[in-house]
Chains A and B, each alone.
Chain A
Amino acid sequence: MQIVLSLLSVIWIAYLFFRVKQGLHMLQLNSYFNNRLYRWMTGHRMRVFPINEWLALVVSIIYYFTENWIVFLIVLLGLFVPRNKQEKKKLVVTARVKRLIITIFIIYLFLIATSLHFIWNDYPLSYAVFVIVLGSLFTYGIILLANLINRPIENRIKEHYYQDAKRIIDSATNTETVGITGSFGKTSTKFILDTILSSHFNTLKTPNSFNTKIGVTITIRNSLKPYHDVFIAEMGAKEPGNIQEICELVSHKYAILTAIGEQHLETFKTLENIKKTKFEIVESLPEDGIAFLNGDDENIMSYTPKNPCRKVYFAIDDQSADYVASNIRFHNKGTTFTVSNKAGTLHADFETKLLGKHNVYNILAAISVAWEMNVPLNKLQLGVKKIQAVKHRMEIKKGFGNLTVIDDSFNSNPTGSRMALEVLGTMEGFKVLVTPGMVELGDKEFEYNKMFGQYAADACDYVILVGAKQTKPIQDGLREKNYPEDQLFIATDLNHAISQIQALNRQDAIILLENDLPDTYNE
């Protein structure tokens, strides 16, 4: 009897292995946050407390009364019903997971020791059974506990990673860091700056939207090479102090502040807090550092930084700024503009495939930085030319029989679509709008679409609306502006729209594809 139970205890461990693995997987998917895992657990009770284990518990209580160990054996075997669930993202056995497994293993070792102690010391056998069943039942609890136990270690390891990254970047004496932050435009500016600088320097940037302290740390530890001349770090902030932390890590020499808006207001509470946090990137610059600031942004201009370092302002509207972009023209190849600086050392034309005033700001910021870093003009111009548009965001393409197409199909917000129409309106050519309208705008959806129609009336030579019913507000907007009916076409779906574009037969057509919707929306 004792031997049977001892054996069972060992088999129990094997079973637990699968349970623990599943639980660890869930913990990993919840980014190792106990509170998130707990929230997931409350939503998935059946997976957290499998029914067969409840049964085992119940039956073990029965066993307590019957003392019939065969019943118990049958029930325990019930625990081993294999469950094969397809997992989308598998558990990645990282060093952290290994550490968790060790902690969990120690906890279970303690449990199994207790159970063996009961078995071999003439306690009622049900004691042992009880330990076993509880152990399996509270797998998730034990995982939570292990995670809690490991937290100080994990924090220390994270701290070690930060220190290691700091050591690496401090020893890279030839590498200068550019920090970029702002409420919007920071990722675009990062990509643009990287494109321009890499025509002259060996650069490294934080990938995608990596903009947290740990993201910057990972980038430095994995990718920073001694030969990198420039490291471009995007810095995001969710709460005050975030940017300061990253700045202290990278010791940047250049700082770009793209714009300040009322984003994340719920965590920052006030606009003042947002400003203060974003300006951490300027305040933490060394005295020989340079801050590049958007001179047209009132939130930036209304803040007075304490740091005496050099400040370089770039602007389109404010003609007195250090770097000014002027003579901005949108055309079927993109945008052309002139940049001159106050010092009088730069006065040159630039061409880019990107469209829109916001992109001019982003490029202008990058040009200012590159010019201060002594990138030669021809490389600067070539770099600006090379900048790639983000897919489906005012992306100029050739299509529909070699016509110019502005693909803005990712856009579906009122501000963005208005800006797209403004750009289209200033271009040379036969301007055609193709749109199914905007959706998911809540109460104001009708109103926004109607206004969209009104803007379109001013900007376009021809309008193709996809879906008669859903584009009703746009039609209203157009009619209110007395838009000629013969310049309006209502298509049933995108293919219908395309055949109408072909029927127009205008070689000078510039087609703006504004917002793209699955066919199901085409009523």
Chain B
Amino acid sequence: MKTKVAVIFGGVSVEHEVSVISALQAINAMDSSKYEAIPVYISKSREWYTGDVLKDIENYKNLDQLFKDADKVVFEQENENTIVLKKKERSMFSKGLITSVDVVFPVIHGTNGEDGSLQGYLELLGIPYVGCDVASSAAGMDKVMMKQILRDAGVPIVDYQWFYASQWHEDQEKIKQLAEQVGYPVIVKPANLGSSVGISKAANAEELEEAIDLAVSYSFKVIIEKMVTDLTEVNCSVIGDYEQVESSFCEQVLSTDEILSYADKYQSGGKNGDTKGMGSVNRVIPAEISEDATIRVKQLAEQTFKLLNASGVSRIDFLLNPEGKVFVNEINTIPGSLSFYLWEPTGKNFEQLTDQLIQLALKRERERQSIQFSIDTNLFSLHSKNGGSKGK
């Protein structure tokens, strides 16, 4: 008997393809003597599929064929403690049951997967799942919320301002003033997109306009950040939960441009359809930064993880200026390739990583169940109307 792990990936997100790669990596990494991985693929048109054909990356080249070979499915609560995957189209004589599911492992980057919405759905289903819960996913996804939480705790972040897209359309001058306050050069980003999409830099008001126009086409909420010149970009992964965390090796991201573009991140090195995902970016592990900076990055990574009440594995991205000052840039609560490449040098291979993540999900589930038991009763109920606490 193996624990059935439904790995959900794809989804309605600009990082759809990256998600497929990360998920298939995770599925291959899972200890098959302990876990049975069930691929659950959400297409760009929001339809859910399962089937062994989904386990091979080659099959994604011809999506029409893939959809024909896979089964369209829905999750269903069969009884109090059984969640099952069922065929969406059932014949008259079949219940359409495909399999029961014990744990869900979401591997979707960005919208509708990393932002708490999928997590909310899983909460409603009442099934344990890997990674951050609803609130921490949402806070991690929204760059503004994340910065507000971090700033409140005194974690170093670069100066920023934010606004809604509608404000930009109403009063451009005011928004430009916000940029002045931050001070050029700035980086303009959509506030709630997981990837590098829609991000651009602006050295002056003219470029700003262009940058904002791009950003508002991706999000209703936009953030203007002070650009760190001559920056060093360093990432560090953290695994654990509110009780116990550990941080990985640090990686240094090498980029020709100051901003790591979507193409840099996911298409560099790949021949026909990148299958290596995050593993193929130009990177240096460990990061070539001072020992002090490494310690600082690791410490801030763990602090950020705990402040946001994250769970599972996250990757926290940092900006270092030439003076060696460290700023927390963002958190990825479902990082590309689950950051396995940052853990391998520490002696934790991808199989151990997935195992630890699933165990963390089960731990959270059992803690939740134990909490529901301890609802205190009011002592005054002892001498209520009929005087007997035992009742009659």
Contacts and interface: CB of A to CB of B under 8 A. Distances in A.
Interface of A: 168, 171-174, 195, 198, 202-203, 222-223, 225-227, 386, 388, 391-392, 397-400, 405, 407, 409-410, 493-495, 498, 513, 516-519, 522
Those 6 A-B pairs whose CB atoms lie nearest each other, nearest first: A399-B379, A519-B387, A518-B388, A171-B1, A226-B3, A226-B1
B390 interface: yes
Given A222-B81, A516-B388, A407 B382 contact: yes
B389 A409 contact: yes
Given A225-B3, A392-B389, A519-B386, A203 B366 contact: yes
A225 B102 contact: yes
A405 B362 contact: no
Contact of A227 (B3, B373, B388): B3
Contact of B373 (A388, A405, A407): A388
A386 B373 CA distance: 11
Contacts of B4: 226
Nearest to A171: B1
B142 to A, nearest CB: 33
B256 interface: no
A389 to B, nearest CB: 10
A518 to B, nearest CB: 4
Chain B CB within 10 A, most for which of A173, A226, A495:
A226
A399 B386 CA distance: 19
Interface string B356-368: 0010001100100
A232 B374 CA distance: 21
Given A517-B388, A518-B388, A388 B374 contact: yes
Contact of B102 (A227, A397, A399): A227
A516 B384 CA distance: 12
A198 B365 CA distance: 11
A37 B357 CA distance: 53
B2 interface: yes
Nearest to A513: B382
13 contacts: A226-B3, A226-B102, A227-B103, A227-B358, A388-B374, A399-B379, A407-B389, A494-B383, A494-B387, A517-B388, A518-B386, A519-B387, A519-B388
Interface in B283-334: none
Given A174-B34, A226-B3, A202 B362 contact: yes
B366 A226 contact: no
A360 B379 CA distance: 25
Nearest to A397: B379
Contacts of A519: 386-388
Interface in B155-193: none
Given A495-B383, A498-B383, 13 more contacts: A172-B1, A198-B366, A203-B366, A388-B373, A391-B377, A392-B389, A399-B380, A410-B389, A494-B382, A516-B390, A517-B388, A518-B387, A519-B386
Counting contact residues on chain B (CB < 8 A from A), the size range is 20 to 34
Given A226-B2, A226-B102, A410 B390 contact: yes
Interface string B16-57: 000000000000000000100000000000000000000000
Contacts of A226: 1-4, 102
Nearest to B376: A397
B85 to A, nearest CB: 16
A348 B363 CA distance: 25
Contacts of B377: 391
A436 to B, nearest CB: 10
B389 A493 contact: no
B370 interface: yes
B1 A518 contact: no
Contacts of B1: 168, 171-173, 226
Nearest to B365: A202
Nearest to B378: A399
Interface in B40-90: 79, 81
A174 B3 CA distance: 11
B392 interface: yes
A386 B370 contact: yes
A37 to B, nearest CB: 29
A195 B382 CA distance: 27
A223 B124 CA distance: 19
Nearest to A173: B1
A119 B270 CA distance: 87
A493 B387 contact: yes
Nearest to B383: A494
A517 B392 CA distance: 10
Contacts of A391: 377
B389 to A, nearest CB: 5
A388 B388 CA distance: 22
B362 A227 contact: yes
Nearest to B366: A198
A392 B391 CA distance: 12
A198 to B, nearest CB: 5
Contacts of B390: 392, 409-410, 516
A171 B3 CA distance: 12
A223 B78 CA distance: 13
A81 to B, nearest CB: 36
A3 B3 CA distance: 63
A155 B388 CA distance: 44
Contacts of A173: 1
B103 A409 contact: no
Nearest to B370: A198
A226 B370 CA distance: 20
Contacts of B383: 494-495, 498
Contacts of A513: 382
A202 B373 contact: no
Contacts of B379: 397-400, 405, 407
B366 A516 contact: no
A239 B3 CA distance: 37
A474 B377 CA distance: 30
Contacts of B392: 518
Nearest to B388: A518
A410 B34 CA distance: 46
A131 to B, nearest CB: 38
Nearest to B5: A227
A202 B389 contact: no
Contact of B370 (A195, A223, A407, A498): A195
Contacts of B380: 399
Contacts of A407: 379, 382, 389
Nearest to A412: B390
Nearest to A494: B383
Contacts of B363: 202
